[in-house]
Structure 1
Amino acid sequence: MNTGNSYDIDRTRTRIDDLIWSAKANGITVLQLELPYVEGPQLGVYQESELVKLDHLLDSAYRNGVYVILSFINAYAISLWPEEPYYHPSGIEGLVKDSRLKEAFKKRMATLITRVNTVNGRRYNEDPTLLSWMLLTELVSAPENYRGGGPKVTIDDLADWVEEMASYVKSLDTNHLVTINVHSGIKIGDDWAKILSAPSLDFIEVEDAEARFLHVTEEPVDFYLRVFELEKPVVVIISFTGGALDQVKIGKDYTWQAEKLREIFKVYYEMGVAAGFAIYSWGSDLDVAYSPDKIYTYTSSNQPIAQAFLDIDSTLGSLNIASAPLQLVKLRP
């Protein structure tokens, strides 16, 4: 699958429809979405108006033949803003060790999984539009990125928590896959594979934020080589957000970004190791992207990037064609 990672969902129905339609027109068959502001500012209090927007998005995606991967939370982002209901200065540590946050998070997942779409009447846990639930994005980041220092959790702590949460999701939903997003910042011990080997995870998404896989002689790429040795499918997400890249330069050179997208895709595709290929991120021309992410939010009017997407779609061919109408997705035995 060729996946766009979009944050542009807390908008009007017209803009939501444009986001979905333009994604499909540019070869994207799956959208991975961060959850809109559905909870807060008080923990456990849900914003129905925001949930209705999510209902509209899922309905639009179904009508346009685009699958959705929905992430419950960004585990790094909750360390950034004190007004965030799940705020903890060390991110994932709060979800693992604070019983109040942990139980609220389980309630959050249950609220979404059991929700009935107000537009089409489908229960989320029966909706074929959903390809997978994502427990979280950005499990951990580099220690220096946290106000409270890196998360004070062990590999075993995280492994147990991931399995507990993934199995909880499956207790509420037997129809959909469950996954997690990680990147090479997962520097919390040598035995990190224990986290990603959780039995209830169906596949793993790994972010390559600096095109490291093109430079296999460098040490950081070891993470990417080893993750493919796990007995789980791996979806690779490509972004250009890494600190080792000249952000000012690449923000002005979409031709360079487009060429790199093709080059990185070719490496993974020819090696035959990736189960999917994701690109960060897709947006609608009807919206102004959030300024911090503007250079990473691609739209159909960005001709170099749009052409790169279409070229990748052409290479994938039938591998990138969703069923019509959408059907529940299961892993092959």
Structure 2
Amino acid sequence: MFYRKLILPVLAALVLTACGQTSISETSEQSGFVQVDGRHFVLDGERYYFVGTNFWYGAYLGSPGPEGDRERLLRELDNLKANGITNLRVLAASESSELMRAVQPALVEEPGEYNDNLLKGLDFLLAEMAKRDMKAVLYMNNFWQWSGGMSQYVAWLTGEPVMDPDKTGEWNAFMQNSARFYRMPEAQKWYRDVIKTIVTRTNSINGRRYNEDPTVMSWQLANEPRPGSDADGRPYFEHFKNWIHETAKYIDSLAPKQLVSTGNEGAMGALRDIELYREAHESPYVDYLTFHMWLKNWSWFDIHNPEATYESAMKEAYDYMNAHVDLANEMGKPIVLSEFGVERDQGRFEPGTSTQYRDDIYAAVFDLIHERAAAGDAIAGTNFWTWGGSGRAGQSDFMWAEGDDYTGDPPQEAQGLNSVFDTDASTLEVIRAHAEEMHALDKP
């Protein structure tokens, strides 16, 4: 049997306390590198299925600087592990920007200049995840504005004012501007410097090189990279496809033991054309597929009119999920639903408010994922959006300001919009139950 990027396990630690939280008190076996065998992940010779979350701010909490809170980070990791959540999708590179809603500080202060506190924060996060035998998916850029992202590279290179859709409302123009990034060789050199700096970094906490650390399951090219806007992106699709292939090949050359994925949303991130999605992901250096699903953002579900929209939204969701799993089966690659999220009932943001519809939608999504995985199909796991944990909004309008807690919702969205908080008992029960089902599939 051929395993893509085979490697033996290394050491770390995990024990469970009587109260259901994890504490790290002794050294035991850490699992090895996640590999690909056909349309499945394998880990230490067994199938690997997971329940994960988006935890984009993990390196921020791990920072020794003023943005950090290492005590909170340890509590969050323990809570995640206790609830069966073992795979974290994390922002590994952000760009300093004048964008109104971009997170501050940023890891890339300008091309070639890096924030040492955030690099050390990523070190701390990965070292603590290793102790808990958790896996990380690290994404290296962003099509959207909330972490600087591709439009910031365009601004650095051209000297033009950074295009800010939160001020102008011109989202079509913003997407076209972000996609210019793929066609700028100098911007690609800067981006590859970021990739090399992080992928080959030696962890200051445990001394491991990142590309030798089995905690890192995958390097992801970007968060939701698109060819451009739906209206005007088609002429630039070949540039997008070539960027995926060449960047994935470059990362593979630096980290041959680890996997590479794109971070793409699926058909909705490929000009709403699943055949273009297929074509963009045929590169042999893309080890597995990703897709996202946003019932509200794509106008399928209205939390203010849930009874009238729930049934049709779930039909759209099932069709979208099944189409992407079917395609992954055809392509012979695993696939991960690496973002999906739902608002709290009545569009509320506060912890403690009802999550009935969120719980129902999570359960329905998880049921289909488990059904397809149990049947041997290519779906391997999920990363729900997003983990808020003990974070709480600091402003009366729920919008993030520098110095506030990180809640999981990015700075351009209300804090609490899609976050699962540590007090959301009913949602956590849905997640725990699904984790038990998925982990039961690990052994053949």
Q: TM-score range by the shorter chain?
A: 0.7 to 0.9
1:20 aligned partner: 77
SS in 2 for 1:41: strand
State whether structure 2 residue 108 is matched by structure 1 residue 40: yes
State whether structure 2 residue 260 is matched by structure 1 residue 178: yes
Structure-to-structure mapping, 1:1-333, within 5 angstroms? 1-9=50-58, 10-11=60-61, 12-35=69-92, 37=94, 38-77=106-145, 84-85=152-153, 87=155, 89=174, 90=176, 92-140=178-226, 143=229, 151=233, 154-183=236-265, 184-188=267-271, 190-210=275-295, 214-215=314-315, 224=324, 227-228=327-328, 229-240=330-341, 248-249=346-347, 253-272=354-373, 273=377, 274-286=379-391, 287-289=405-407, 290=409, 292-319=414-441
State how far apart, in whole Å, the 1-side matches of 2:240 and 2:228 are: 16
State how far apart, in whole Å, the 1-side matches of 2:150 and 2:191 are: 17
Kept in 1: contact 2:227–2:236 (CA 8 A)? no
2:9 aligned partner: none
Give the TM-score normalised by the residue count of structure 1. Answer: 0.82
Kept in 1: contact 2:370–2:437 (CA 8 A)? no
Kept in 2: contact 1:214–1:267 (CA 8 A)? no
Kept in 2: contact 1:238–1:261 (CA 8 A)? no
Q: Displacement of 1:156 after TM fit? A: 2.1
- Runs of 4+, deviation exceeding 4 Å: 78-83, 85-88, 149-153, 216-223, 245-248
1:329 aligned partner: none
Identity of aligned residues (%): 19
Q: Which has the greater radius of gyration?
A: 2
Q: Displacement of 1:254 after TM fit? A: 1.4
Kept in 1: contact 2:294–2:341 (CA 8 A)? yes
SS in 2 for 1:283: strand
State how far apart, in whole Å, the 2-side matches of 1:258 and 1:142 are: 33
Q: 1:94 to 1:18 in 2, by over 3 A?
A: farther
Q: Displacement of 1:95 after TM fit? A: 2.7
Give the TM-score normalised by the residue count of structure 2. Answer: 0.63
Q: RMSD between aligned alpha carbons?
A: 3.1
Question: 1:149-202: CA deviations, max 9, x gaps?
Answer: 855753322221111000100111111011112224224355331101111011
For CA contacts below 8 A with separation 6 or more, give which structure has more relative contact order.
1
Question: Which deviates the most, 280-289 or 81-90?
Answer: 81-90
Q: Displacement of 1:82 after TM fit? A: 9.8
State how far apart, in whole Å, the 2-side matches of 1:54 and 1:294 are: 24
Q: Displacement of 1:45 after TM fit? A: 1.1
Kept in 1: contact 2:227–2:234 (CA 8 A)? no
Q: 1:169 to 1:217 in 2, by over 3 A?
A: closer
State how far apart, in whole Å, the 2-side matches of 1:246 and 1:299 are: 11
SS in 2 for 1:182: coil
Q: 1:295 to 1:231 in 2, by over 3 A?
A: same
Q: Displacement of 1:33 after TM fit? A: 0.6
Q: Displacement of 1:278 after TM fit? A: 2.0
Kept in 2: contact 1:75–1:140 (CA 8 A)? yes
> Which blocks of at least 5 consecutive residues in structure 2 are unaligned?
1-49, 62-68, 95-105, 156-162, 164-173, 301-312, 392-404
Question: 1:225-282: CA deviations, max 9, x gaps?
Answer: 65333221101135236xxx89853755412211211111111221233121221111
Q: 1:81 to 1:28 in 2, by over 3 A?
A: closer
SS in 2 for 1:138: coil
Number of residue pairs aligned between Structure 1 and Structure 2: 314
